[in-house]
Amino acid sequence: MTDLLYVNGGTPLQGTISVRGAKNFVSKAMVASLLGESPSVLRNVPQIRDVGVVSGLLELHGVGVKYDPEAGVLDLDPSDVEAAHVADIDAHAGSSRIPILFCGPLLHRLGEAFIPDLGGCRIGDRPIDYHLEILRQFGAVVDKRPNGIHLRAPRRLQGTKISLPYPSVGATEQLLLTAVRAEGITELTGAATEPEIMDLIAVLQKMGAIISVDTDRVIKIEGVDRLDGYSHTALGDRIEAASWASAALATGGDVTIKGATQPEMMTFLNTFRKVGGQFDVQEDGIRFWHPGGDLRSIVLETDVHPGFMTDWQQPLVVALTQATGLSIVHETVYENRFGFTEALRQMGATIQVYKECLGGGACRFGARNFHHSAVVSGPTPLEAADIEVPDLRGGFSHLIAALAAKGTSTVRGISLIDRGYEAFQDKLVALGADVARG
């Protein structure tokens, strides 16, 4: 099977699909199992490539991993944690950004850690300076080597006071995974408070941690000497749910997403309604549909939670190409997340990107030469094209565009989408899409 998908677009997506646990929580909960003295059980785990990558890394460190994809149950046994061989870890280099989160747990368990060069999506520089500064403040010694970063803890890591310059999701998780077993109290100001982070805190509390989330992005952790395993059901994937909802809107369809939950998607739901989409929150999911008539243009700014997620931006922009008037989108989380619009332009969309901060307040990317604002003028019919998947969410957006376009598109590099969208081709077929693997 080659890495491309033929998409014969123009048919509204219709039907019911399910989403399981959030990619951006499940991988972190898997890392947390390293901190326990006893086995953990994680449920609602989707069969996506990132789960495979983290499983592989855990196994390299001696963790027993058993996954039942049908049931979505992952058993993690950390009784025999050991240092992995650098060459083995290095083989995983470039496949994910999760390895950086192994640092705290490994420093606690083994006194040292090695982190290969990190991968992840090409949506900006994605530095790890906050992570390394946090680890240093806990007392870790950080040594940058040509193939990665070596860290060691000369003595037990010590609780500390840290203020983040930006509420980074990964840095907040780094701090949590390190502080829970450090000696003394840690206080973080400027923390990210995404639902996936709250679910990680719930997991750590089940393991024996003492963590309080105060007002104004302050999190306090009292370090403990021992943590045990956990048993937990992962929260649903609100990014995957919003992606399918955007696909329903862009194709004029009607899709019910089982496993989509309202509290974590409130901001998306408000925006979806403002654009002219309709939704109905049901007992076990949310139905999203295009009611017919014109969609409305909007002004949108991405932000950290509880704002409009950056990961929702790319799929929704495709639907905005079908809205009447000028939509303005200001991306404030990543400096370079509009690369995917080039393919949309090729397909007939009218989208201009700007370096200025448009449609909101000034952000940290203003006056720094980053194309981080976009103006979408619609509605524009989309035509089939030959396109290449640039990154995970941008790739799904390309898929949506191909589904909405007239004719047969060729979407290349499609396996990148397997990183975060479980069985997306089966789901497309279930929704009536005309697709075939090349």
Residues at the binding site for phosphoenolpyruvate are 23-24
Q: Is 330 in the site for ligand EPU (CB under 6 A)?
A: no
Q: What span, in angstroms and rounded, lies between the C-alpha atoms of 183 and 132?
A: 19
Q: Which is nearer to ligand EPU, 187 or 237 (CB)?
A: 237
CA distances to 33, 66, 74, 158 from 312, in Å: 29, 32, 27, 37
Q: Is 121 in the site for ligand EPU (CB under 6 A)?
A: yes
- Residues binding ligand EPU: number (CB under 6 A): 27
β-partners of residue 378 are: 325
Q: Report the amino acid identity of residue 304.
A: V
Q: Is 315 in the site for ligand EPU (CB under 6 A)?
A: no
Q: Is 169 in the site for ligand EPU (CB under 6 A)?
A: yes
Alpha helices in 187-237 (DSSP H): 195-207
3-state secondary structure of 205: helix
State the nearest-atom distance from the C-beta of 17 to ligand EPU, in Å: 19
Contacts of 217 (CB under 8 A, 6+ apart): 167, 189, 190, 191, 192, 193
CA distances to 137, 335, 351 from 330, in Å: 34, 10, 13
Q: What span, in angstroms and rounded, lies between the C-alpha atoms of 186 and 161?
A: 6
State the nearest-atom distance from the C-beta of 73 to ligand EPU, in Å: 22
In which region does residue 208 sit, left (phi positive, over 0), alpha (psi from -120 to 50) or beta (all else)? left
Contacts of 361 (CB under 8 A, 6+ apart): 301
State the nearest-atom distance from the C-beta of 24 to ligand EPU, in Å: 3
Q: Is 31 in the site for ligand EPU (CB under 6 A)?
A: no
Distance of CA 32 to the CA centre of its chain: 17
Q: Which is nearer to ligand EPU, 261 or 310 (CB)?
A: 310
Distance of CA 131 to the CA centre of its chain: 18
Site for ligand EPU in 209-268 (CB under 6 A): 239
Q: Is 311 in the site for ligand EPU (CB under 6 A)?
A: yes
Residue 121 appears among annotated catalytic residues = yes
Q: What span, in angstroms and rounded, lies between the C-alpha atoms of 39 and 93?
A: 27
**Of 64, 69, 127, 184, which one interacts with ligand EPU (CB under 6 A)?**
127
Stretch that binds ligand EPU, among 75-83, 161-169, 214-222, 348-356 (CB under 6 A): 161-169
**Of 161, 166, 205, 280, which one interacts with ligand EPU (CB under 6 A)?**
166
Q: What span, in angstroms and rounded, lies between the C-alpha atoms of 341 and 390?
A: 10
Q: What span, in angstroms and rounded, lies between the C-alpha atoms of 282 and 386?
A: 38
Q: Is 392 in the site for ligand EPU (CB under 6 A)?
A: yes
State the nearest-atom distance from the C-beta of 226 to ligand EPU, in Å: 27
Q: Is 52 in the site for ligand EPU (CB under 6 A)?
A: no
**Radius of gyration for the alpha carbons in the chain, expressed in angstroms and rounded:** 22
Q: Are 229 and 253 in contact (CB under 8 A)?
A: no
Stretch that binds ligand EPU, among 30-38, 68-76, 124-132, 145-153 (CB under 6 A): 124-132
Q: Is 97 in the site for ligand EPU (CB under 6 A)?
A: yes
Q: Which is nearer to ligand EPU, 78 or 394 (CB)?
A: 394
Q: Is 314 in the site for ligand EPU (CB under 6 A)?
A: no
Q: What span, in angstroms and rounded, lies between the C-alpha atoms of 51 and 67?
A: 10
**Of 18, 243, 246, 310, which one interacts with ligand EPU (CB under 6 A)?**
310
Of 80, 3, 71, 8, residue with least CA distance to 39? 80
Q: Is 302 in the site for ligand EPU (CB under 6 A)?
A: no
Among 103, 121, 357, 363, the active-site one is 121
Q: Is 130 in the site for ligand EPU (CB under 6 A)?
A: yes
Q: Is 131 in the site for ligand EPU (CB under 6 A)?
A: yes
State the nearest-atom distance from the C-beta of 291 to ligand EPU, in Å: 29
Binding site for ligand EPU (CB under 6 A): 23-24, 97, 121, 124-131, 166, 168-171, 192, 239, 309-311, 333-334, 392-393, 420
Residues recognised as catalytic: 121
